[in-house]
Amino acid sequence: MTRSKYSGLNRLSLISGMFQKIRRGTLTYAQIDVDPKQVTLTEGEKTSLLCRSGNKINYCRFIVPGASQVLVLSETWPSKTPGYSYFGQGLAAGQCGVTIDRVIPQNHGQAKCFLGIEGDEIEGQIELTVALPPHRPELEVISKPPRNFFEADETLQARCISRDGRPAANISWFLNDEPILEGLGVPETAETTAADGTSKLFTSVQEIKRRLQPSDDGKFLVCRTSHIADRGQENMVKQQLLVKYLPLPQQEITVYGVTLTRTALINVTIQANPRPRVEWTVSGVVIPQGTQNGRYEAYEPAELGNGEYNVVLSIDSLTLEDTTKDYMLRASNELGQQEYIVRISSSNTPASSGLDIGAIIGIVVAVAVLLIIVVLIVFARATGRWCFGGASLNTDIGPDSEAQINPHLNDEFDGKEVYDPEQHIDTTQQSGDETPPVKDKLEQPIKTELKKAAANGHHNGKDLKTNTPV
């Protein structure tokens, strides 16, 4: 019985120790930290990887893809594997790290660190991605035209492919140097296996749809890739676009500045691709290019570049009647034809009659300011504010006012008023309850009349009668 009892106690102690060890190992593992958790590197660069624990560690081991052996690292002795060395603040600080002096493609994969702590070993993992540049991009035209050229308003559909990069490359589209931001499909990424059979490579694909315009003719559709591992190698592919279109329409054309009695050259610029054939019609007479009819001669179109052509009609000894005629220019190519109405004038080119936006804004602001000023003046006069205060005219003159008008008529002065210098008109402000003074608007006509009477009396050599106040 005694032996059995001690045997049971030994088993319990063993099981308890195992649980404590598992628990201690679990807690320690939960505290491990790796920096970085994942990193993308380029071939030839230097990098450091670190595993940290909150406890002192007894040893530090690293397994790095591409390294010839397991790395046993410490700050107290050099690494036995060239190109790899210890990184960190020491084992006592709980740090186990490695510095890779020069990254090689074989380092791609999962690096593992092993830390020995109090008889246990804990493990950390770091994902290493060694970037590989993709192949030169490929450009595929999906909607190939049957005649090796596109017509205006047709839809171009193309695809750009960037193969076997790590990570996937980014794709951008351009028309010459102008970025294309519309009509782009969602980029797709396909995963493939590298030649070693273990690592992964990535292929990027993106499509584009674009409605072609006449202005796209001769430009280059460009697919350009960007990648972290680019090293100056060719990362773009382009294809020139050939867009054909019938002569483009224009509004009625007026040619100014022709001189009467002289040879007039009527120049018209049109756009077409391919090269157009032209003919002029003057008063029902058709004049094909390269021919002459009387005073009229039609020249062949002269190429200006970018699908533009200069078309000229020569009129010898221009008359006033010629300026009243309508001239029709017909241009055609394999895609269709276009007609243009041309008029000529001996006047100079008229100045533009339209106002630009700046002038319109200036006029609106000026009118608004003027209206505000008028409203303020009317308001001030109506309310007697500012400079209009106390300036209202009061013509209510009472009998007791000091500014009374007492005209005296004298027969010998032909009914003129007698000027009394002492009985003057007081225009000063009155105080108290006195009647307000007469203002200049009432005073001026009276003074004028009195002066006329005085002048008349002096001319007749007679004395004026005065009223002397008592």
pLDDT 10s digits, 275-329: 999 999 998 999 999 999 999 999 999 999 999 999 999 999 999 999 999 899 9
Q: What does the pLDDT read at residue 384?
A: 75
Q: What does the pLDDT read at residue 364?
A: 87
138-244 shares its CATH topology with 253-344: yes
Task: Provide CB contacts within 8 A for 417, sequence distance 6+.
Answer: 407, 408, 409, 449, 450, 453
Q: What does the pLDDT read at residue 125?
A: 94
Considering only the top CATH level, what class is 30-131? mainly beta
Q: Does CATH number 2.60.40.10 belong to domain 138-244?
A: yes
Q: What does the pLDDT read at residue 455?
A: 53
Q: What does the pLDDT read at residue 388?
A: 65
Q: What is the tens place of the pLDDT at every residue in 362-384?
A: 888 889 899 998 888 888 888 87
Domain ranges of the chain: 30-131, 138-244, 253-344, 377-470
Coil, strand, or helix at residue 55?
A: coil
Q: What does the pLDDT read at residue 4?
A: 42
Global pTM reads 0.62
Percent of residues, the chain, with pLDDT higher than 90: 58
CATH architecture of residue range(s) 253-344: Sandwich (2.60)
Tokens for 240, please give them. 């020139």
pLDDT under 50 in the chain at which residues? 1-30, 392-439, 441-442, 457-470
Residue with the two structure tokens 């782009």: 184
**C-alpha torsion angle, residues 341, 346, 348, 352 (rounded to 10):** -40
Q: What does the pLDDT read at residue 444?
A: 58
**C-alpha torsion angle, residues 103, 104, 107, 109 (rounded to 10):** 100
What region does 384 belong to: left with phi over 0, alpha with psi -120 to 50, or beta? left
Q: What does the pLDDT read at residue 199?
A: 78
Between CA 240 and CA 216 the distance in angstroms is 9
Task: Provide CB contacts within 8 A for 429, sequence distance 6+.
Answer: 390, 436, 437
Q: What does the pLDDT read at residue 390?
A: 57
